[in-house]
């Protein structure tokens, strides 16, 4: 399950290559398999996201808007991360928003410098003019940060999600979806599914909830990686996956950094 714009989402419907496509449905937080101990409650998860406000399509939305997530600090306090979304809208003659284009950036500061540097930049595309980033958690050790990248087509109830893992020590973030590619290697075949990261194990392995690939009638697709909702761990070093109990609970390791002045942790590059 993911939360975007404060809306809880039951991940279903077709996947898009290594993206997972989600349809909007309101469900209770208790219905989230394997994720009851995830980083934040359903009320808080929206604060860990930077998202385009013009996708609300309200007439009072300014033509240029910016949203910013809370700041998530690594357990040892050496690294801090946050996301910023800058959106521009187009309006019809009636004044209603007819299109929205946004760019989202993930910023990280480190022990060498308090200047926030962008480590992931998500630009609008022809198929998805909007996008967003949600911070999930830092690992207990090793300074790895897992986030969710969102792809948002205008005037559609579906959007894609893609888990990403940033290694702050090396400064690297793989382009490919390690969760999806590793699962396909494990299955020994091409398969689709929705991979929703929910945190880390104490040993630093990423934990992901895997949802089946369903069609518009909510029937299981033949290429689905799983038949039901499952919980798995990904060994990032060995790129191997292992099944976890469906009721597995992740611990929260990252800490929210409360700033009196948001500008104290910012960069001109965020603009």
Domain that holds residue 160: 2-270
Band of pLDDT at residue 78, cut at 50, 70 and 90: very high
**What confidence tier does 199 reach under pLDDT thresholds 50, 70, 90?**
very high
Confidence check: pLDDT of 8 > 60: no
Give the per-residue pLDDT at 33.
30
Query: Model pTM greater than 0.85?
Result: no
| Count of structural domains, the chain | 1
Q: Is the Cβ–Cβ distance between 236 and 165 less than 8 Å?
A: yes
Give the pLDDT band of residue 3 (cuts 50, 70, 90).
very low
Q: Taking a C-beta distance cutoff of 8 angstroms, is the pair 130, 154 a contact? A: yes
* Residue 149 phi, psi (nearest 5): -95, 130
In angstroms, what CA-CA distances link 117 with 36, 59, 80, 112, 265? Answer: 32, 34, 11, 12, 10
Q: Is the distance from CB of 7 to CB of 43 less than 8 angstroms?
A: no
Helix (H, G, I), strand (E, B) or coil at 29: helix
């Amino acid at each position: 399950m993911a939360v975007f714009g404060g809306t809880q989402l039951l991940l279903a419907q077709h996947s898009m290559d290594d993206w997972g496509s989600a349809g909007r449905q309101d469900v209770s937080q208790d219905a989230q398999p394997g994720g009851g101990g995830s980083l934040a409650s359903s009320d808080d998860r929206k604060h860990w996201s930077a998202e385009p406000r013009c996708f609300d399509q309200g007439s009072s939305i300014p033509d240029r808007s910016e949203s910013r997530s809370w700041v998530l600090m690594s357990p040892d306090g050496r690294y801090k991360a946050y996301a910023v979304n800058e959106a521009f809208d187009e309006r019809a003659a009636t004044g209603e928003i007819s299109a929205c284009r946004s760019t989202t950036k993930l910023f990280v500061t480190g022990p060498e410098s308090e200047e926030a540097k962008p480590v992931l930049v998500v630009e609008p595309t022809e198929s998805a003019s909007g996008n967003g980033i949600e911070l999930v958690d830092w690992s207990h050790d090793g300074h790895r940060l897992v986030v969710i990248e969102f792809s948002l087509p205008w005037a559609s109830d579906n959007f894609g999600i893609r888990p990403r893992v940033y290694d702050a020590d090396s400064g690297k973030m793989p382009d490919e979806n390690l969760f999806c590619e590793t699962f396909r290697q494990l299955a020994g075949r091409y398969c689709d599914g929705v991979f929703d990261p929910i945190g880390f194990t104490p040993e630093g392995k990423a934990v992901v909830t895997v949802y089946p690939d369903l069609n518009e009638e909510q029937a299981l697709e033949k290429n689905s990686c799983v038949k039901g909702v499952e919980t798995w761990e990904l060994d990032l070093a060995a790129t191997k996956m292992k099944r976890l109990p469906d009721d597995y609970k992740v611990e929260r390791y990252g800490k929210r950094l409360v700033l009196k002045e948001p500008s104290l942790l910012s960069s001109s590059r965020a603009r």
